[in-house]
């Protein structure tokens, strides 16, 4: 019998299954311990096989083979690359694997690792102390391995805030993640302050890269902590002596040989001029990339050109997606810290529940032994009179009201333990176990005590493994660098961009601008900026400000259709500059059929213009956007054509990516459409409801 299947449905199902597996089991770290499953498998293999920091290193091939055989069914090459990367001091602030042999370098890059048959590895102490301590007390859920003949943890009990300290990067299906590294000491200070006072310093917590460098956009960093997205611009550190420029710290994940190739290419393309020679003077102790300038050339101008044309200045776009409840979600700093605390407090509680159960079990046995020693002569006589061990156990239980476990423990005692000193020792241990049980019970019942223990353990970990900041953080303007092939000089000045109700766009110098009476939209910008324009069809257009015709106040301007490639019936609804307003960091849109889409503004920002438009939101058939604006957690009110209205807080809506559709803002009646959108402070005339309701009837 032949079964027919729909090939499209089958491919869709397989794609969804594959996407789920990629995103949850490969590309994204678990927020609780900061590890991807492959990384966790490598560390677990070293732990169970006792390849620990106090034992000799073992061949990397042995480790990768063990991981593939038991825990993570992937190729040994991928497994080896996974734990080799975890050992790299130029990738991690605190490496989790202690390595012998070549594991890459800052000259050639992280991929220049020797074959696994030549190298050796073992666990670093930070993993044993900060990620695996107490795991044998069943503090985390376990899962069967793929062959179902063993089990391993779903997550580690991680006092070490691995995701903050060493970061993570991965590309899944339709999603990616970039977590930037931070100083362990500073991360611990942030966590301890929040645990003890409830204060989270989002404004002064900055990335710290193991390779040093200088972050130059300090004022933009808080947005990463508050939204989970944002950019970090990092420059090489350098000194100038005469005509020589010595770059002695490179940006994160920038390596000397590749950057030398970049410099040579930039020289060939005349993007960098005035360079006489390039030397790599690095050794095992320091980085030294030396650029010799031609006579008469100002070295600082060469530095500026190099920063503009090569990765000696590099931008990282943080994108803090991580796994929470088996789902990739965007994670703010506060969400991470709350998850970290809750996970570790849960582990501490389970640890003390385990200790309490063990203490009670031991107390039970000791109480039986104590009874036996107090009546030792009668007990010995009873045992001698019994026919066998089983009957002796039954007789002891009946005579002294003991449990079978207590009776078996008494029968297992040797004659040498029947002395007076042994009775004292048993009574002492009994008292100690009762005190331990009392302490365990107090901890189990007190959330505050659990947090106190977490704080104490985190402080102890920092004393052993704390680090100092490597990366400087400053705020400076990035100058526009001229090149040999510059097309024309752009005069940089402040302007007002005006969009008229008739769909015309014009640029007016600030000094010449005066408020118009007409219902116009205006944005302040600079002539070297890029403008963002959002349309009714869910597109965002990027337009260079200097390409907008400068006009007088009374001039008509240029029709948008002559500047942008708009579709039929497509309208521009909102325009804004590229600056991030930290009080309103989101772009929010509302469709005619009541869907609301919120996204971080950072995902629309770019360095090139696009007059054809890029998709900024998904749309259902027959629907269109009627409003866009910059928002935060403001109150939004939607008014409908059948005189209904709903008011809710935008905090209810999570930010999503470019291609995602919106979520329901109001449940519309048949044929009703959104007629008006307002955002701002609470309207006292309307109740505050949750989104997706029917709203209230307007009088």
139-176 confidence digits (pLDDT tens): 999 999 888 889 999 999 999 999 999 998 887 665 77
Q: What is the mean pLDDT of residues 103-132?
A: 87
pLDDT given for residue 406 in this prediction = 87
**Cα separation, 35 vs 296, whole angstroms:** 53
- For residue 697, the 8-state DSSP code is E
Interval 263-281: pLDDT, tens = 999 888 888 888 888 989 9
State the alpha helices, DSSP H only, in 33-133. 37-48, 60-70, 76-85, 125-130
Structure tokens at 643: 């005189």
Structure tokens at 439: 């302490």
Q: Do 237-311 and 338-465 agree at the fold level?
A: no
For residue 572, give the nearest of 501, 512, 488 by alpha carbon: 501
- For residue 401, the 8-state DSSP code is T
pLDDT given for residue 384 in this prediction = 85
Interval 615-634: pLDDT, tens = 999 999 999 999 999 998 88
Q: What is the mean pLDDT of residues 413-430?
A: 76
Q: What SS3 string covers 539-608?
A: EEEEEEHHHCCECCCCCCCEEHHHHCCCCCCCCEEEEECCCCCCCCCEEEEEECCCEEEEEEHHHHCCCC
**Cα separation, 85 vs 170, whole angstroms:** 13
**Cα separation, 377 vs 226, whole angstroms:** 73
Query: Higher confidence at residue 16 or residue 624?
Result: 624
Interval 228-260: pLDDT, tens = 999 999 999 999 988 899 999 999 999 999 999
pLDDT at 71 over 60: yes
Interval 464-485: pLDDT, tens = 999 999 999 998 877 654 444 4
Cβ 640 vs Cβ 673: under 8 Å: yes
Answer positive or negative: Cα dihedral of 69, 70, 73, 79.
Answer: negative
**Cα separation, 23 vs 30, whole angstroms:** 11
pLDDT given for residue 481 in this prediction = 47
**Cα separation, 509 vs 512, whole angstroms:** 5
pLDDT given for residue 1 in this prediction = 58
Domain boundaries, the chain: 36-157, 237-311, 338-465, 494-697
What percentage of residues in the chain have a pLDDT greater than 90?
A: 56
**Cα separation, 242 vs 542, whole angstroms:** 43
**Cα separation, 183 vs 570, whole angstroms:** 49
Interval 632-663: pLDDT, tens = 888 999 999 999 999 999 999 999 988 899 99
Q: What is the mean pLDDT of residues 606-621?
A: 89
pLDDT at 486 over 50: no
Q: Which fold has domain 338-465?
A: Topoisomerase; domain 3 (1.10.268)
pLDDT given for residue 24 in this prediction = 55
pLDDT given for residue 488 in this prediction = 45
Interval 204-235: pLDDT, tens = 999 999 999 999 999 999 999 999 999 999 99
Cβ 592 vs Cβ 674: under 8 Å: yes
What is 627-688 written as a DSSP string? EEEEESS-EEEEEETTSEEEEEEGGGS----TT---EESS-PPTT--EEEEEEES--TTS-B
Q: Which CATH class is domain 237-311?
A: alpha beta
Query: Which is the CATH superfamily of the domain at 494-697?
Result: DNA gyrase/topoisomerase IV, subunit A, C-terminal (2.120.10.90)
Tell me, rounded to whole angstroms, the distance of Cα 48 from its chain centroid. 28
Collapsed DSSP state (helix, strand, coil) of residue 158: coil
Beta bridge mates, 586: 600, 631
Whole-model pTM over 0.95: no
For residue 224, give the nearest of 203, 194, 199, 195 by alpha carbon: 203
Q: What SS3 string covers 404-444?
A: HHHHHHHHCCCHHHCCHHHHHHHHHHHHHHHHHHHHHHHHH
**Cα separation, 326 vs 23, whole angstroms:** 9
**Cα separation, 468 vs 337, whole angstroms:** 21
Q: Which residues contact 531 (CB under 8 A, 6 or more apart)?
A: 497, 523, 525, 542, 543, 544, 545, 548, 575, 576, 577, 578
Q: Which residues of 226-257 are buried (b: 16+ CB within 10 A; e: fewer)?
A: bbbbbbbbbbbbbeeeebbbbbbbbbbbbbbe
Query: Higher confidence at residue 346 or residue 417?
Result: 346
Pick the CATH number of 36-157 from 3.40.50.1000, 3.30.930.10, 1.10.20.10, 3.90.199.10: 3.90.199.10
Kindly list the distances between the CA atom of residue 385 and the CA atoms of 370, 388, 396, 397, 616, in Å, as whole numbers in the listed order: 21, 9, 11, 15, 89
Q: What is the mean pLDDT of residues 294-316?
A: 90
Interval 487-512: pLDDT, tens = 444 567 889 999 988 888 999 888 88
pLDDT given for residue 420 in this prediction = 63
Averaged confidence pLDDT in the chain: 88
For residue 328, give the nearest of 681, 20, 637 by alpha carbon: 20
Q: Using alpha carbons only, what angle is made at residue 310 by residues 309 and 314, rounded to the nearest 5 degrees?
A: 115
pLDDT given for residue 418 in this prediction = 65
**Cα separation, 440 vs 427, whole angstroms:** 20
**Cα separation, 574 vs 572, whole angstroms:** 6
For residue 430, give the nearest of 386, 368, 492 by alpha carbon: 368
Q: How would you classify residue 212: left for phi > 0, otherwise alpha for psi between -120 and 50, otherwise beta?
A: left
Could you tell me the end-to-end alpha-carbon distance of the chain, in angstroms, rounded to an integer? 66
Phi then psi for residue 281, to 5 deg, are -105, 20
């Amino acid at each position: 019998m032949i079964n027919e299947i729909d090939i499209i449905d089958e491919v869709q199902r397989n794609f969804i299954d594959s996407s789920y597996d990629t995103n949850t089991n490969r590309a994204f770290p678990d927020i609780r311990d900061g590890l991807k499953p492959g990384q966790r498998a490598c560390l677990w293999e070293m732990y169970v096989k006792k390849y620990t920091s106090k034992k000799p290193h073992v061949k990397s091939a042995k480790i990768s083979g063990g991981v593939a055989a038991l825990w993570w069914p992937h190729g040994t090459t991928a497994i080896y690359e996974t734990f080799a990367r975890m050992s790299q001091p130029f990738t991690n602030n605190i490496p989790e694997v202690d390595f012998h042999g070549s594991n890459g370098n800052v000259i050639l890059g992280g991929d220049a690792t020797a074959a696994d048959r030549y190298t050796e590895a073992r666990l670093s102490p930070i993993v044993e102390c900060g990620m695996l301590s107490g795991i044998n007390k069943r503090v985390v859920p376990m899962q069967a391995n793929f062959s179902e003949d063993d089990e391993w943890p779903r997550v580690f009990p991680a006092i070490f805030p691995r995701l903050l300290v060493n970061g993570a990067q991965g590309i899944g299906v339709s999603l990616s993640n970039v977590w930037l590294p931070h100083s362990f000491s500073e991360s611990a200070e942030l966590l301890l302050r929040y645990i003890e006072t409830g204060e989270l310093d989002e404004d002064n917590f900055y990335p710290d890269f193991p390779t040093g460098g200088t972050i130059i956009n300090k004022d933009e960093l808080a947005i990463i902590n508050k939204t989970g997205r944002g950019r970090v611009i990092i420059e090489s550190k350098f000194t100038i002596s005469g005509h020589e420029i010595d770059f002695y710290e490179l940006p994160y994940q920038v390596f000397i040989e590749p950057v030398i190739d970049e410099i040579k290419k930039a020289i060939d393309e005349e993007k960098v001029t005035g360079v006489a020679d390039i030397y790599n003077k690095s050794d095992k102790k320091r980085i030294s990339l030396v650029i010799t300038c031609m006579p008469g050339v100002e070295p600082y101008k060469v530095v500026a050109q190099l920063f503009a044309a090569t990765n000696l200045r590099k931008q990282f776009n943080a994108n803090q997606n991580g796994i929470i409840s088996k789902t990739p979600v965007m994670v703010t700093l506060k969400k991470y810290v709350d998850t970290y605390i809750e996970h570790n407090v849960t582990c501490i509680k389970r640890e003390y529940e385990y200790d309490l159960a063990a203490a009670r079990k031991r107390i039970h046995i000791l109480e039986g032994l104590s009874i036996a020693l107090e009546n030792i002569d009668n007990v010995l006589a009873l045992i001698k009179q019994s026919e066998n061990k089983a009957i002796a156990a039954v007789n002891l239980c009946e005579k002294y009201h003991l449990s079978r476990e207590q009776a078996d423990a008494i029968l297992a005692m040797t004659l040498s333990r029947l002395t007076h000193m042994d009775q004292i020792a048993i009574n002492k241990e009994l008292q100690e176990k009762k005190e331990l049980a009392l302490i365990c019970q107090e901890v189990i019942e007190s959330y505050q005590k659990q947090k106190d223990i977490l704080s104490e353990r985190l402080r102890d970990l920092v004393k052993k493994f704390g680090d100092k900041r490597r990366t400087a953080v400053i705020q400076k303007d990035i100058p526009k660098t001229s090149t040999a092939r510059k097309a024309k000089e752009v005069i940089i000045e402040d302007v007002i961009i005006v969009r008229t109700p008739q769909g015309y766009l014009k640029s007016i110098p600030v000094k010449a601008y005066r408020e118009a009476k007409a219902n116009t939209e205006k944005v302040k910008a600079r002539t070297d900026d890029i403008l963002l324009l959002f349309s009714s069809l869910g597109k965002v257009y990027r337009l260079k400000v200097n390409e907008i015709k400068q006009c007088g106040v009374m001039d008509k301007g240029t029709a948008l259709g002559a500047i942008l490639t708009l579709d039929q019936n497509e309208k521009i609804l909102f325009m804004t500059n590229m600056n991030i307003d930290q009080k309103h960091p989101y772009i929010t849109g509302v469709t005619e059929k009541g869907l609301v889409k919120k996204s971080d503004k950072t995902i629309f920002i770019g360095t090139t213009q696009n007059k054809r438009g890029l998709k900024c939101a998904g749309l259902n058939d027959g629907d269109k956007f009627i409003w866009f604006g910059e928002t935060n957690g403001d109150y939004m009110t939607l008014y409908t054509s059948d005189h209904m209205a709903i008011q809710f807080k935008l905090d209810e809506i999570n930010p999503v990516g470019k291609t995602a559709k919106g979520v329901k803002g109001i449940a519309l009646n048949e044929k009703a459409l959104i007629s008006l959108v307002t955002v701002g402070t609470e309207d006292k005339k309307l109740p505050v409801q949750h989104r997706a309701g029917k709203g209230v009837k307007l009088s």
